[in-house]
């Protein structure tokens, strides 16, 4: 594919994704955004509203405003910031709830670190786009609450979740408390992503220290040094409790980790050796993740279980991250095979995941390309993976030689 054509298609797709969310996400009755909208674009006005969805909307429209300078993205970014500030922030204990009900009252008050991370990510990008002083103050507070209550000073890393008052919790969302899955790859990946975004707008040494610490945890506990794949679920001592090969997370981490190391090195020359080491790891992770890429249809498999069962679902977010991760690996190596996989990921998305009638992307398709899922908007189906992949690709294509 001609790269100019690719650039034009991705620029249009970014506009189309955001236009969908501008039209169908806002909840005119209760404020904020619907918690659920189906494939026919019909909202469920009674659906609970999750912090992950709201924070990702905040991030997506803030990033769009910053990258394009189009003011029509500002109202949704402002609306998301105001809704999170008014309904998700816990006025008594700090941090954010996991969910509120349709009218904005606290529903699940768990302080899940995954939710705190995305709140910090969205707030930081909003600050980057608007220079909002209240948003920066809130971002600093969320960061400090996370470190104060959930950081493991003895073993490193962060615990998965805590109760509303930051006391120990037994109610986990992503992992299993009963199996002692106290630390997860997924939550740590998104905490690092959030700290990186915060560090762009608040160059405090405490943030840099946390980023270095997180990269160190990935190096010694999360990434297998032999396979360059990530362990998924660990106990408080980082002993593996449960794992599988998650192709989507591996390819996503292959570019998010170097992004963090690059920012550290740009601000501190002493971090150059770390940057070099993390870039090397990132390329090897992309190489390892390539085994999940199916050359028959150019789709990315979802997961390989320890028992050998291969989940061949082609998920919307995995395909979005594959496009960026392989492009990042190409930029670092100039190996054409990586560029080909990046472009082919977009070809797959165009062919099978775009809903050309009702807008946005399907949740995924089977290996036989049967459409999966029912919702365009949900607790987890958000505009961040796909809108971010468009922005990342556009920025990277500008710098390709």
**Per-residue pLDDT at 106 exceeds 90:** yes
Kindly report, residue by residue over 251-301, the tens digit of the pLDDT: 999 999 999 999 999 999 999 999 999 999 999 999 999 999 999 999 999
pLDDT-based confidence at residue 400 (cuts at 50, 70, 90): confident
The percent of residues above 90 in pLDDT, for the chain, comes to: 99
Kindly report, residue by residue over 211-265, the tens digit of the pLDDT: 999 999 999 999 999 999 999 999 999 999 999 999 999 999 999 999 999 999 9
Averaged over 305-312, what is the pLDDT? 96
pLDDT-based confidence at residue 401 (cuts at 50, 70, 90): low
Q: Which residues contact 236 (CB under 8 A, 6 or more apart)?
A: 152, 155, 159, 180, 182, 183
**Per-residue pLDDT at 7 exceeds 70:** yes
The three-class DSSP label of residue 146 is helix
d(C-alpha 298, C-alpha 321), whole Å: 14
Averaged over 29-37, what is the pLDDT? 97
Q: What tokens does 291 get?
A: 């085994």
CA separation (Å) from 341 to 141, 327, 399?
40, 8, 18
Kindly report, residue by residue over 86-95, the tens digit of the pLDDT: 999 999 999 9
Q: What tokens does 130 get?
A: 């608007």
Cβ 143 vs Cβ 195: under 8 Å: yes
The residue ranking higher by pLDDT, 399 or 307, is 307
Chain-wide mean pLDDT for the chain? 97
d(C-alpha 109, C-alpha 164), whole Å: 5
pLDDT-based confidence at residue 135 (cuts at 50, 70, 90): very high
**Per-residue pLDDT at 399 exceeds 90:** no
pLDDT of residue 12: 98
Cβ 98 vs Cβ 108: under 8 Å: yes
pLDDT-based confidence at residue 75 (cuts at 50, 70, 90): very high
Kindly report, residue by residue over 363-389, the tens digit of the pLDDT: 999 999 999 999 999 999 999 999 999
pLDDT of residue 141: 98
Q: Span 3-398: which CATH code?
A: 1.50.10.10
Q: Between helices 113-130 and 185-201, what is the axis angle to 10°?
A: 20
d(C-alpha 207, C-alpha 230), whole Å: 24
Averaged over 100-108, what is the pLDDT? 98
Averaged over 311-319, what is the pLDDT? 98
For the entire predicted model, the pTM comes to 0.98
pLDDT of residue 209: 98
pLDDT of residue 127: 99
Q: Where are the domains positioned within the chain? A: 3-398
Beta carbons within 10 angstroms of residue 203's beta carbon: 12
**Per-residue pLDDT at 1 exceeds 90:** no
Q: Tell me the HSE value of 48 on the side-chain side, using a 13 A CA sphere.
A: 16
For residue 27, which of 65, 64, 76 has the smallest C-alpha distance?
Answer: 76
First to last CA, the chain: 16
């Amino acid at each position: 594919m001609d790269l100019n054509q690719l650039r034009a298609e991705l620029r249009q797709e970014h506009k189309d994704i955001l236009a969908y969310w501008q039209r169908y996400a806002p909840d005119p009755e209760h404020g904020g955004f619907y918690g659920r909208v189906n494939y026919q674009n019909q909202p469920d006005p009674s659906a609970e509203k999750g912090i992950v969805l709201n924070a990702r909307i905040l991030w997506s429209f803030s990033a769009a405003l910053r990258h394009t300078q189009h003011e029509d993205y500002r109202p949704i970014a402002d609306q998301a910031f105001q809704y999170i500030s008014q309904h998700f922030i816990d006025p008594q204990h700090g941090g954010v709830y996991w969910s509120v009900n349709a009218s904005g009252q606290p529903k699940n008050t768990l302080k899940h670190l995954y939710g705190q991370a995305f709140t910090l990510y969205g707030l930081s990008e909003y600050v980057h786009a608007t220079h909002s002083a209240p948003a920066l103050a809130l971002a600093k507070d969320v960061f400090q609450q996370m470190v104060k209550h959930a950081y493991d000073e003895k073993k490193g890393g962060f615990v998965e979740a805590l109760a509303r008052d930051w006391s120990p919790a037994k109610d986990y969302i992503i992992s299993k408390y009963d199996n002692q899955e106290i630390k997860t790859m997924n939550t740590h990946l998104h905490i690092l992503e959030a700290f990186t975004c915060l560090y762009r707008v608040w160059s405090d040494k405490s943030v840099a220290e946390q980023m270095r610490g997180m990269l160190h945890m990935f190096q010694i506990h999360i990434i297998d040094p032999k396979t360059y794949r990530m362990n998924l679920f660990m106990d408080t001592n980082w002993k593996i409790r449960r794992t599988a090969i998650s192709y989507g997370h591996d390819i996503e981490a292959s570019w998010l980790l170097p992004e963090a190391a690059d920012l550290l090195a740009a601000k501190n020359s002493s971090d150059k050796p770390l940057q070099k080491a993390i870039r090397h790891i990132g390329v090897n992770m992309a190489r390892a993740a390539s085994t999940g890429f199916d050359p028959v249809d150019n789709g990315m498999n979802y997961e390989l279980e320890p028992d050998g069962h291969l989940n061949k679902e082609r998920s919307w977010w995995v395909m979005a991250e594959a496009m960026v991760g392989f492009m990042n690996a190409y930029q670092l190596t100039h190996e054409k095979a990586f560029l080909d996989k990046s472009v082919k990921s977009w070809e797959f998305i165009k062919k099978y995941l775009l809903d050309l009638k009702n807008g946005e992307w399907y949740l995924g398709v089977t290996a036989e390309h049967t459409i999966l899922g029912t919702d365009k908007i949900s607790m987890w189906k958000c505009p961040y993976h796909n809108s971010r992949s468009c922005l990342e690709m556009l920025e990277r294509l500008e710098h390709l030689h």
